[in-house]
Each structure stands twice: as structure tokens, then as C-alpha cells.
């Protein structure tokens, strides 16, 4: 990237960031989860659960993260907790089926150790969620 000011001065800089994929299998599981297989999922597999309060927890050291999910008309909701505090309620419902969607993101000012926990809400009529893992930037 090159920046210019009104006086004609320039400065160049570059930013490099390496995304790290934490597959769903890297998470600590609680409750009932089933494995789904499809070339549409990251790494060919994903986890799905319709069990209220089932959870997946990832721990990583980074400065930015995104939760990767699959979405469909029958998809439910999930709570996202960050470092022990509830940060969001995410609705995965979509009128069309979508794969590898970064549906929730979080950024911090510097890299540090963080924990992200996803909890199944058990939404009435559409309790299931399908997760494909977590991606983070160191």
C-alpha cells in the first residue's frame, strides 16, 4: 500500500496476516454432536447438533477471529461466548443453503490468548446448527 499526502510525499507499507483454520474437530465438545461429510465443508467435514446447550470451545492466540458455519432454512441459533462472556446470539437461518460462511467475527487490538465457545440455543422448530470451525489471525 502506498499513501500520498497533499505535499506529494509518499510512504509505503505492507500488512501480512496468516489465517489459521481450527477445524471443528479441534474444539472441545460438550453434549451431542454428529459429523457430516461433504466437499462443501472446510476439510470435507462439519459438526451438527440440535441438542440444547451442546457446545464447542476453541482456544487460540490471535488478534482476530471468525466463526465459520453452514446455513439453511432449517438452521437454528447459537450463543457465542468470548473469554467467558456471552458476546452474541447468532441466527444461522438462511432462505438458501450456504456453506463456509463467516457469520460472526471479533477483533482485538493485539494478539493474545482467547477462548470462543459456541452453544446451541435449541430454537423451537429449527434447533440444529452446523459449524465448520473457527478461523483466526495471529
* Cα 97-103-104 angle, rounded to 5 deg: 165
Q: pLDDT tens per residue, the chain (138 residues)?
A: 677 777 778 877 666 778 999 999 999 999 999 999 999 998 899 999 999 999 999 999 999 999 999 999 999 999 999 999 999 999 999 999 999 999 999 999 999 999 999 999 999 999 999 999 999 999
Pairing label, strands 2-4, 10-12:
antiparallel
Residue 30 has what pLDDT?
98
Is the CATH number of domain 17-137 3.20.20.70? no
Residue 71 has what pLDDT?
97
Among residues 88, 76, 75, the alpha carbon closest in space to that of 117 is found at: 88
The gap from C-alpha 56 to its chain's centroid, in whole angstroms, comes to 11
In the chain, where are the structural domains located?
Answer: 17-137
Could you tell me the pTM of the whole model?
0.86
Amino acid at each position: 500500500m502506498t499513501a500520498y499526502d497533499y505535499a506529494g510525499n509518499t510512504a509505503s507499507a505492507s500488512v501480512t496476516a496468516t489465517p489459521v483454520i481450527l477445524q471443528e474437530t479441534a474444539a472441545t465438545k460438550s453434549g451431542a454432536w454428529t459429523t457430516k461429510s461433504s466437499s462443501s465443508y472446510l476439510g470435507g467435514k462439519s459438526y451438527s447438533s440440535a441438542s440444547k446447550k451442546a457446545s464447542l470451545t476453541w482456544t487460540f492466540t490471535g488478534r482476530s477471529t471468525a466463526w465459520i458455519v453452514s446455513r439453511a432454512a432449517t438452521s437454528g441459533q447459537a450463543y457465542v461466548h468470548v473469554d467467558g462472556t456471552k458476546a452474541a446470539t447468532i441466527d444461522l437461518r438462511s432462505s438458501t443453503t450456504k456453506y463456509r460462511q463467516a457469520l460472526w467475527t471479533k477483533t482485538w487490538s493485539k494478539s493474545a490468548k482467547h477462548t470462543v465457545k459456541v452453544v446451541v440455543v435449541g430454537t423451537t422448530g429449527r434447533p440444529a446448527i452446523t459449524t465448520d470451525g473457527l478461523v483466526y489471525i495471529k
